[in-house]
Amino acid sequence: MKPELFIGALSGTSIDGIDVALVRFAPQPALVASHFVAYPEALRRELLALCVPGENEIDPLGRADVQVGRLFAQAINELLAKVALPPSEICAIGSHGQTIRHRPGGATAFTLQIGDPNMITAITGITVVADFRRKDMALGGQGAPLVPAFHEAVFQKQGADRIVVNIGGIANVTMLPGDTAAPIAGFDTGPGNTLLDAWSRRVLHEPMDRDGAFAARGKVNGELLAAMQTDRYFTRTPPKSTGPEYFSMEWLQRHLSAAGPVAEVDVQATLLALTAQTIADAIRRFPSIGPTDIFVCGGGAHNDTLMRSLQECLPSCTVGRTDALGVPVDWVEAMAFAWLARQRMHGQPGNCPIVTGAKRLAVLGGLWLPE
């Protein structure tokens, strides 16, 4: 089969900016080139505001939809210029867009991603696959996480249990049994970087606690940590998914008010412990055989303090990064959306019902054609 080129584009729950990956499928995927475009501060602030329920949301939503779509298209065109490829070489773009609300479960479950695909196809001249999550939700699923199917396709290894941990704004885990006939498992564990970033913005006026340096100087407050861990999300049985609209600054503020005075630096240390321990607890739920290799991806893989803490929580496992498997930590998710676009174009399913809880396998995403 002739190799195919697909592009995957997304901005995750950290709302840091747009990741674009150019992927060659032969048919195993390989990253050819990548590009990142940070959100301009004003747009980022508008997106953060849209993640919190408010009055008169439709106008700002409509404007952001267009602006995000335009910025996705610009990011994709910049990547193509970098590698000097014409749009005609690309089979399709898989655009996840930007999630601004995710409310799974209940009679009116919904999930909302913006970044108008019409804008992306009009500006790039390339077929766009978008709206990946809602079919799964229409089939009773969570619509998330979607990456485990991609993890299975590229990271599973016969004879060795593997766990993939994606630490974005929200963290999710995927268990890939060494018995490849056994079902995989996966779900959102809770906050990844979202609370760490929020607290860092509040007290350091920085978008992130780089390398976890601030957290490393603090002491974990056991009472605060225990109180946060009583949140029912952490013990709920999967399928489950969540978002920063739930693990929000308000959520943190509620716990802080109940806890009494805690030093700012200790709050950061405690939030880091919360991320590490809730991921570790989730991993311990998997009935795995013996010591397991854990491969971390997402921006959290750059946080050395967090990586150390995760290793300490899971002494019988080896905590490494997906780079060890040939996939750079920052591009796994964007590659997953290139893969999902390819699945759509080949009429193949993109969801993993055992993970999302959907009634059945489904081809995911709608098509936006340039002509």
Ligand X SMILES: Nc1ncnc2c1ncn2[C@@H]1O[C@H](COP(=O)(O)OP(=O)(O)O)[C@@H](O)[C@H]1O
Nearer to ligand X, 133 or 302 (CB): 302
Residue 57 identity (one-letter amino acid): E
H or E segment and range at residue 168: none
Kindly state whether residue 296 participates in binding ligand X, applying the rule CB under 6 A. no
Size of the site for ligand X (CB under 6 A): 21
Residue 303 makes contact with ligand X by CB under 6 A: yes
One character per residue 254-273, x = contact with ligand X (rule: CB under 6 A): --------------------
What is the per-residue burial (b if ≥16 Cβ within 10 Å, else e) of 131-156?
A: bbbbbbbebebbbbbbbbbbbbebbb
161 burial via Cβ count (<10 Å: 0-12, 13-18, 19+): buried
Please, what is the minimum distance in Å from the beta carbon of residue 335 to ligand X? 12
Q: Are the CB atoms for 166 and 187 separated by under 8 Å?
A: no
Single out the residue of 212, 238, 350, 353 in contact with ligand X (rule: CB under 6 A): 212
Q: Do the Cβ atoms of 143 and 134 come closer than 8 Å?
A: yes
Asked if 13 is part of the footprint of ligand X (rule: CB under 6 A), the reply reads yes
By CB under 5 A, residue 242 contacts Mg ion: no
Number of Cβ within a 10 Å radius of residue 258: 10
Radius of gyration of the chain (CA): 20
The listed partner (Mg ion, ligand X, none) that binds 211, CB under 5 to 8 Å by sort, is ligand X
DSSP 176: E
Candidates 210, 284, 346, 360: give the one binding ligand X (CB under 6 A).
Answer: 210
Helical spans, DSSP H, in the chain: 41-50, 58-83, 117-124, 134-138, 147-155, 194-203, 213-217, 222-229, 249-259, 264-285, 304-313, 332-345, 353-356
- Listed in sequence order, the residues at least 6 apart from 9 whose beta carbon sits closer than 8 Å to its beta carbon are 18, 19, 20, 21, 72, 75, 76, 93, 94, 95, 96, 120, 334, 337
Q: Which range touches Mg ion (CB under 5 A), out of 9-17, 178-186, 271-279, 358-366?
A: 9-17
Is 217 among the residues that bind ligand X (CB under 6 A)?
no
- Work out how close the CB of 296 gets to ligand X at its nearest, in angstroms, rounded to a whole number: 10
| Among residues 4, 7, 9, 12, the one that binds Mg ion under rule CB under 5 A | 12
Name which position in 144, 333, 338, 344 contacts ligand X (CB under 6 A). Answer: 333
Residue showing the smallest CB distance to Mg ion in the complex: 12
Q: Which does 212 bind (CB under 5 to 8 A by kind): Mg ion, ligand X, none?
A: ligand X
| 239 binds ligand X, rule: CB under 6 A | no
What six digits make up the tokens of 308? 């150390």
Comparing CB distances to ligand X, the nearer of 209 and 245 is 209
Residue number, 13 or 121, with CB nearest to ligand X: 13
197 binds ligand X (CB under 6 A): yes
The residues binding ligand X (CB under 6 A) are 11-14, 16, 168-169, 193, 196-197, 208-212, 298-300, 302-303, 333
